[in-house]
Amino acid sequence: MAPISTPQTPFGRVLTAMITPFTADGALDLDGAQQLAVHLVDAGNDGLIINGTTGESPTTTDAEKNDLVRAVLEAVGDRAHVVAGIGTNDTRHTLELARQAERTGAHGLLAVTPYYSKPPQEGLFRHFTAIADATELPVMLYDIPGRSGVPIETETLVRLAEHPRIVANKDAKGDLGRASWAIARSGLAWYSGDDMLNLPLLSVGAVGFVSVVGHVVTPDLRAMLEAHLAGDVQKAAEIHQKLLPVYTGMFRTQGVMTTKGALNLQGLPAGPLRLPLIELSDEETAQLKIDLAAGGVQL
């Protein structure tokens, strides 16, 4: 059974977009994935996003995606929301992945804006509606125009929010003004998808985070969130400022590369990357160590 959720926090509050561990020869590391999932939930995550772009979803097969969701559900499915990333730029393929995730037992779906194709807003509306109609699972939209090429405009978000299974949005648009209006008008549960803006987005109505840096600083993220909810603005700001070197360091280059680099430094399951992503250089690793240490991360 999925962990308890509310309409305001349908997937919990602190979620990490989990990397996909691979073995030294590049195969899927299911044991490692389970170990990492347990570690992240023990650290304070309410949920995990599996098979998102941070999980190198463009380079994993449908069968690997299914095996990964099943493994993580076995490890932490009774303690955390396990949300399956199913987004592609092919609606038919996306629907297949959504139904596969539902059959395997995922608690929800993350659907990224179709990338590269640059569909118009009506195309986005029909794409996301088809996903929501395909299963009985709650859906979190993922708005990241820097990668997808097009934003989900506020009017489209408002229309999509009328669907009973479209309940949340992961916002990586980087625009607090547009987020403010969309939160107010759509009523969707809003999750920060841009770690540097975690606290600012809380201030305009977000309910939580879908984080990359959660791999290494989940306790700090939870403390910041709880301080904000308790009205301790000063403490929340202090934690935000403490985390600035981590936010900066984890995105000096491609985020999956730095995340796997950090986890490997900590001795946690991560392993190599699949091309076109590559391992950090020695210089990049040295800088990452400096950044993480400046944010209080133990390596």
Q: Helices marked H in 230-295 — which ranges?
A: 233-249, 255-266, 282-294
Rounded Cα distance between 205 and 184, Å, is: 8
**What is the 3 state secondary structure string of 171-237?**
ECCCCHHHHHHHHHHHCCEEEECCHHHHHHHHHCCCCEEEECCHHHHHHHHHHHHHHHHCCCHHHHH
170 is catalytic: yes
Cis peptide leading into residue 7 (ω within 30°): no
The answer to whether 213 is annotated as binding is no
- The answer to whether the beta carbons of residues 274 and 236 sit under 8 Å apart is no
Query: With 0-12 CB in 10 A as exposed, 13-18 as middle and 19+ as buried, what is 241?
Result: exposed
Q: Is 210 annotated as a binding residue?
A: yes
Among the options 65, 115, 170, 247, which is catalytic?
Answer: 170
Please give the backbone phi and psi of residue 84, each rounded to the nearest 5 degrees, phi first. Answer: -95, 125
Per the listing, tokens 């996301």 go with 128
| Active-site annotation holder among 142, 173, 191, 260 | 142
Nearest Cα residue to 136 out of 162, 111, 107: 107
What is the spatial distance between Cα 13 and Cα 191, in angstroms, rounded to a whole number? 8
Buried b (16+ CB within 10 A) or exposed e, 112-147: bbbbeeebeeeebbebbbebbebbebbbbbbbbbee
The annotation places the binding site at: 54, 210
The annotation places the binding site for pyruvate at: 54, 210
What are the residue numbers of the active site?
142, 170
